[in-house]
């Protein structure tokens, strides 16, 4: 089966499930599509395990789609750029301290808390997991997914400052999460990385990516200024994000952070002129995220279910949620003087709205082959499924409880 045939199958499945959701299920697009795909994949796993169907051919299609590389080295840059284009730079500047604390401090705290809790609890249960593997899991599961939660926030009345905090955290902590994962993976792979070396690597990759993204965004601003040819505008921004993302990776910088910063810079210029380009990127964002959530659901069919994996998955979900609560509590305490009245319900909303998604699965799939890889994959799938099917589907109810949604 050729690559174009694989792409055609995925696109047709995405369109079909998106239609079902829009016509019958009527959930927010991101959450609804992923929920349908995940439920379908779970049914297929059960039927395959009891011998009703054979999922081997389907698993071959999923394997050829190469979800991890497709997301990390292709879709992620486009989605982060598109998401950043839609963010109000003025509001983000006002909330810069909360966003930095949540995206940087919150992600680092969550990584340590999740890794430490998983290591301790699994050891107490007699199912020891190496500390570095536990920390790798903490690094890959800590970044939150902006797409699913933003689809709920669009139809809610969350105060603008809190909404900006949630959107900014989700966009930037994807990049921070990739950097933290890269550093921990280098240590776990046996590279000789000192504490000072790890800090320098983090600073170079993260802040270097931000500086590179600012430069690329500045180039985009210069090229777009006074340009009214819509087709050329689209071509310039596509070349900017795709070419810039690839170049940042080649330079060893954080390409996700570069994409976010470039999107913020270009989006500010475009909003000052007209919104045609913003509408284009909103459409790209919706389409790519629909495909992302379908692929995430399909990836679950490759998981071989065993009793130890089920136990690991069940234990992990509350640990990750508790770590999210603790990391957000610390962050909210720090940002309270900068977040105004929106901080009233910030702890509950930021905790329950911290959905995990495609990036976590992509990072898990990027793990090298080892004795605990399947275990880490199962734990990741469990957390993502719970986040989308439980947290995502009840977030609107939580917002209504606080009087922030209709």
DSSP string across 299-322: HGGG----HHHHHHHHHHHHHHHH
Are residues 259 and 77 in contact, defined by beta-carbon separation less than 8 angstroms? yes
pLDDT score recorded for residue 220: 92
With vertex at residue 36, the alpha carbon angle to CA 297 and CA 384, rounded to the nearest 5 degrees, is: 45
Identify the pLDDT of residue 248.
Answer: 94
User: Residue holding tokens 């995990």?
Assistant: 356
Whether 406 maps to a domain, the answer reads no
> Which residue's structure tokens are 């963010």?
87
pTM of the predicted protein model: 0.82
Which of 31, 35, 37 minimizes the C-alpha distance to 14?
37
Euclidean distance between CA atoms 365 and 358, whole angstroms = 11
Per the structure, the count of domains in the chain is: 1
pLDDT score at 350: 86
Closest C-alpha to 399, from 356, 354, 355, 353? 353
Which has the closest alpha carbon to 85: 287, 237, 202, 302?
237
* CATH code assigned at 93: 1.20.1530.20
User: Three-state DSSP class for 156?
Assistant: strand
* Domain around 99: 3-401
Angstrom distance (rounded) from CA 390 to CA 388: 6
Phi and psi at 405, nearest 5°, equal: -150, 155
Q: What pLDDT sits at residue 25? A: 83
The dihedral region occupied by 27, where left means phi > 0, alpha psi between -120 and 50, and beta the remainder, is beta
Spatial separation of the C-alpha atoms in residues 29 and 375, rounded to whole Å: 30
Can you state the percent helix, strand and coil of the chain, rounding each to 5?
85, 0, 15
Q: What pLDDT is recorded for position 135?
A: 93
Contact 157, 404 (CB under 8 A): yes
**Residue 346 maps to a domain:** yes
Taking the CA atoms of residue 239, residue 243, residue 245 and residue 249 in that order, the dihedral angle to the nearest 10 degrees is: 180
Cβ atoms of 349 and 162 within 8 Å: the answer is yes
Nearest to 357 by CA among 163, 202, 168, 142: 142
Domain-located, residue 199: yes
- HSE-up (13 A, CA, CB side) for residue 194: 3
The sign one gets for the Cα dihedral 322, 324, 329, 330 is positive
The predicted pLDDT at position 225 comes to: 84
In a domain, 303, yes or no: yes
- What is the model's pLDDT at position 56? 61
Residues lower than pLDDT 50 in the chain: 272-273, 342
Q: Residue 26 carries which DSSP code?
A: -
Tokens of 265: 């810079």
- Per-residue pLDDT at 118: 92
**CA distance linking residue 253 with residue 334, whole number of Å:** 29
Identify any residues that bridge with 156 across adjacent strands, giving them in sequence order: 405
Quickly count: other Cβ atoms within 10 Å of residue 159's Cβ: 17
With a CB cutoff of 8 Å and minimum separation 6, the contacts of 42 are 300, 385
Count CA atoms within 13 Å of residue 38 on its CB side: 22
pLDDT value of residue 272 = 46
Torsion angle defined by CA atoms of residues 156, 20, 76 and 275, in that order, rounded to the nearest 10 degrees: -60
The DSSP H or E segment spanning 111 is: helix 107-124
């Amino acid at each position: 089966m050729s690559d174009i045939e694989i792409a055609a199958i995925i696109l047709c499945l995405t369109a079909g499930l998106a239609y079902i959701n829009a016509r019958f299920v009527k959930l927010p697009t991101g959450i609804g599509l992923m929920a349908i795909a995940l439920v379908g994949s779970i049914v297929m796993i059960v039927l395959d395990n009891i011998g009703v169907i054979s999922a081997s051919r389907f698993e071959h299609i999923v394997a050829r789609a190469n979800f991890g590389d497709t997301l990390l080295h292709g879709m992620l840059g486009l989605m982060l750029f598109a998401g950043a284009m839609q963010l109000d730079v003025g509001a983000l500047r006002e909330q810069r301290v909360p966003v930095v604390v949540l995206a940087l401090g919150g992600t680092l705290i969550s990584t340590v808390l999740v890794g430490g809790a998983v290591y301790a609890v699994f050891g107490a249960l007699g199912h020891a997991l190496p500390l570095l593997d536990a920390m790798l899991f903490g690094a890959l599961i800590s970044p939150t997914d902006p797409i699913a939660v933003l689809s709920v926030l669009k139809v809610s009345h969350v105060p603008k400052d809190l909404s900006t905090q949630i959107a900014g955290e989700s966009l930037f902590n994807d990049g921070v999460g990739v950097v933290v994962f890269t550093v921990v993976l280098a240590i776990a792979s046996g590279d000789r990385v000192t504490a000072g070396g790890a800090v320098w690597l983090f600073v170079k990759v993260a802040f270097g990516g931000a500086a590179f993204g600012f430069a690329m965004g500045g180039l985009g601003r210069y090229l777009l200024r006074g340009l009214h040819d819509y087709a050329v505008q689209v071509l310039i921004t596509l070349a900017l994000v795709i070419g810039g993302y690839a170049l940042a990776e080649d330079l060893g910088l954080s390409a996700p952070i570069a994409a976010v910063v470039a999107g913020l810079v270009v989006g500010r210029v475009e909003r000052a002129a007209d919104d045609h380009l913003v509408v284009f990127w909103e459409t790209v964002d919706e389409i790519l995220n629909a495909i992302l959530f379908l692929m995430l659901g399909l990836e679950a069919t490759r998981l071989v279910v065993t009793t130890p994996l089920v136990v690991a998955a069940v234990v992990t979900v509350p640990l990750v949620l508790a770590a999210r609560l603790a990391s957000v509590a610390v962050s909210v305490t720090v940002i309270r003087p900068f977040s105004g009245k929106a901080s009233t319900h910030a702890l509950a909303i930021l905790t329950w709205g911290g959905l995990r998604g495609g990036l976590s699965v992509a990072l898990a799939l990027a793990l090298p082959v080892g004795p605990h890889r399947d275990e880490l994959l199962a734990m990741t799938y469990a957390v993502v499924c719970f986040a989308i099917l439980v947290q995502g589907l009840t977030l609107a109810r939580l917002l209504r409880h606080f009087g922030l949604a209709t």
